[in-house]
Amino acid sequence: MAGAGFPFLACGAQGAHRLGLHARTAPAHTMGDSAKNHPDPHETFLLNPDGSEKKIVMEKDKRMLDAATFTINREDHTLGNLLATQLLRDPNVVYAGYRVPHPLENHIEIKVQVKSGYTPHAALQTAINDSISAVGLLEEKFRESCLPLKDAAGTGMAAGDASTNYL
């Protein structure tokens, strides 16, 4: 028995109208940018051009010694997980974690607590530099692994040719 508790489900649009249930949809011309619940793609990674927004803001923790929360604007889980994992590899880091406060907000918060004599800022800077080095090493290994494929294909192209740029 379809729609036993909801008689308008069984009787179609005409029956729903007779019951006083009107479908309310916005006209097509009013469904502009304000109706979207997500930002434009470029807004997810570009800072405001007027300079009113900083990339990273540090706030020292008031309850824990040697701890701070870094807010990194226009970033998401990709960078948050990478930095939190890299921070935890540092023996001077006691705690590192990140969160995205809300899926529609384009920033992450990274919480870092370090051992005495070390600063959260230095720990984050080390994690960023180590991550950059790891990505550089990954690129180098990738290029090395592509050389045999290029040689096997027998393209005969000169080194430095545009087709040899795999990234």
Instruction: Write out pLDDT tens, residues 98-135.
Output: 999 998 888 999 999 999 999 999 999 999 999 999 99
Q: Look at residue 32 in the predicted model and tell me its pLDDT.
A: 53
**Global pTM?**
0.66
Does 3.40.50.150 match the CATH number of domain 56-152? no
The mean pLDDT of 31-47, rounded to a whole number, is 67
Confidence (pLDDT) at 34: 54
pLDDT interval class at 35 (50, 70, 90)? low
Give the closest residue to 44 by CA, choosing from 68, 84, 69, 78. Answer: 78
Q: Is 51 left (phi over 0), alpha (psi -120 to 50) or beta?
A: left
Q: What residues contact residue 63 under an 8 Å CB cut-off, 6+ apart?
A: none
Burial 131-142 (b: 16+ CB within 10 A, else e): beeeeeeeeeee
**The pLDDT value given to residue 105:** 85
